[in-house]
Amino acid sequence: MHASRLAAAGIAAGMFLVASIASRAAAQAAAAPSGSPAASGTVLHLSGKLVLVDVVVTEHGKPVTGLDRNRFHIFEDGREQQISAFEEHRAPAAPPNASAFKAALEALPPHTYTNIPLYPNESAVNVLLLDALNTPMADQAEARQQMIDYLGGIRPGTSLAIFTLASRLQMVEGFTTNAALLAKAMKDKAASSSHSVVLEDQSNSTQMQMEEMLANMEQDTTPPSAEIVGELEQFENDLTAMQTNLRVQVTLDALQELARYLNGIPGRKNLIWFSGSFPITIDPEDTARSPFRNVADFGDQIKKTTALLTAARVAVYPIDARGLMGQSTVDVRYTPSPNGMSVNAQGKLVMGQKQQNVAADYTKFLTQTDEEKESIETIAEETGGKAFVNANDLKDSVADVIENGSSYYSIAYAPGAEKADGGFRRIRVSVDKGGYKLAYREGYYADNPAKSNAGQNVVGLAILHGAPPATEIALKARVLPASDPLLRDAKLPAGPAGRMAATMKGPTQRYVIDLGVDPHDLAFNATPDGAEHARIEFVLVDYDAGGNRVNYLDQALNASFTAKQYADAMTHGLHARMQLDVPETRSSLRIAVEDLNAGRAGSLEVGVDAVHP
């Protein structure tokens, strides 16, 4: 496929053909260690409209292997489906070949990078997420120590990747089977306990300070009016609702980032999520002046998130980092709500008793605990995982997840001609001759897979500095200074390169980024004349050492391919050349591609000081 053909197809000015990129399958084979599912062995390939369900079968808490395909039955909305594909996966008998990881990296050409992650030769990969956003600091420390203890006796060859969530998602350690390296990462500052940016300690929270202020008012000779008390209580409720909304948004964004990162790895992914709590709704506040003002249901956001997780074959295993929970009002950390005033239904100020406050706190604790348990169980059930609540031995819970989540059965079926109307399709799986316990996702939303995320700003998460790469679209990038000898004959446009280039301070250097995109990951729209249409956005963002954006560039591609051009693109890939001016000091270049038709993204990050010739 030649540059002129791309130009005729509607490529934006300044983009043209560069060296070809292999398909995703070839890219995964290059990036994966020898012997991994993408390099050799059996891989379950799916095409057309098929539903894939991973099923974990256990008996007395232990995985059951060797079950025959004929013993499985799968139902959608009560109707049995014909199994189109079936495959058993077992934990590997031998540890992965660690040297293959290094060899895979060295296989890339000089100054060339890919977003396809390295992953171990196992039936499933395991990801540990330490959630400081939703977990009290004291419980974080206990969870981290139990994980360090677990790593001291981990089965040789077990692989883990470690992420943390505070104000944003961060990767602490990529996939490795080196237990000592994982333990070191757990002890590192990046994985240490930290105060939540929105989850305040109850005894020192803004809400408690408000309660104390109201209690002090109660002692005044002239108590405050019902109007003042009502306004203060409403402010307290508004603040709590704002914190809850922020927690939900940041948490779901992080889970979506993980889904997009893990999408490029074949097979099942077990996400072990240490979290203290996670809200799914904001209920009416009976004592507030406007009880329904902050009511919220995060069901739609959770639906979108679980859809991304299941599409990436991620099973979520939430583990309550608070361990065994007793009655809140007898906990040594408990501080009763001091305010004894409230406004009754007639708008009158009513003085309460401390005992009433303790009882109200306990009732609120029970309600909140039930809702938190329901929320994490919902995410676990919808993704085929399991929630661990009220368990003091957290390391045993992790061992259980890794052992059982590594042995599973993959079942695929064609669901029929039902419309992609977004409705929920309930799945049920059974196995003949055995009282086994089965874990699998409970269903799926019948959205058009090529349209389900269209119109959403997925690239906004993909370009975040330090975020894990997005792998829904496989890409490669060659990153070179414009002065490199390899670009000696290149005709590069003059003038500033980047939306902020004209105002940049200090010496700069131009970089040339040659991108290759796997078109198999894009959603093309066909027209009656046989043409195929794609809508893509390319984005470059350069960040300084402090994480501040210093320059960026975005270019759109509206491409229309003839049948021959489309066939050529599927064989050789799609390509673009972009340029960006960056500071001569160290910086980080974030490269992203978004499919605007489907709402999918691919991204990677390069330290530009590492690509000097």
Last residue of a domain, one of 370, 401, 432: 401
Counting the structural domains of the chain, the total is: 3
Distance CA 253, CA 269 (A): 18
Domain containing residue 396: 202-401
In the prediction, which pLDDT does 159 show?
Answer: 79
Enumerate residue ranges in the chain where pLDDT < 70: 1-48, 93-106, 189-241, 279-298, 323-372, 390-392, 417-419, 447-457, 610-613
Distance CA 431, CA 283 (A): 40
Does residue 188 form part of some domain?
A: no
In the prediction, which pLDDT does 332 show?
Answer: 47
Q: Give me the residues paired with residue 508 across strands.
A: 583
Phi, psi of 408 (to 5 degrees): -160, 170
Does residue 126 form part of some domain?
A: no
Does residue 152 form part of some domain?
A: no
Clarify whether residues 18 and 36 are in a common domain. Answer: no
- In this predicted model, what pLDDT tens digit does every residue of 356-415 receive, in sequence order? 555 555 556 555 666 667 778 888 888 999 888 766 677 888 888 888 888 999 999 998
Clarify whether residues 362 and 436 are in a common domain. Answer: no
User: Angle 472-573-449 (CA atoms, 0-180°, nearest 5)?
Assistant: 35
DSSP-assigned letters across all residues of 118-129:
---SSSEEEEEE
Distance CA 556, CA 12 (A): 6
Does residue 109 form part of some domain?
A: yes
In the prediction, which pLDDT does 69 show?
Answer: 95
Which residue in 269, 309, 315, 266 sits closest to 42, CA to CA? 266
In the prediction, which pLDDT does 24 show?
Answer: 41
Does residue 268 form part of some domain?
A: yes
Clarify whether residues 218 and 365 are in a common domain. Answer: yes
Beta strands in 484-531 (DSSP E): 508-517, 525-526
- In this predicted model, what pLDDT tens digit does every residue of 277-302 receive, in sequence order? 776 654 445 554 555 454 456 677 78
Last residue of a domain, one of 388, 417, 441: 441
Residue 410 DSSP SS3 = strand
In the prediction, which pLDDT does 206 show?
Answer: 52
Q: What is the pTM of this model?
A: 0.75
Clarify whether residues 278 and 361 are in a common domain. Answer: yes
Q: What is the CATH number of the domain that holds 480?
A: 2.60.40.10
Does residue 43 form part of some domain?
A: yes
Eight-class DSSP state of 388:
B
In the prediction, which pLDDT does 178 show?
Answer: 81
Clarify whether residues 367 and 515 are in a common domain. Answer: no
Clarify whether residues 9 and 37 are in a common domain. Answer: no
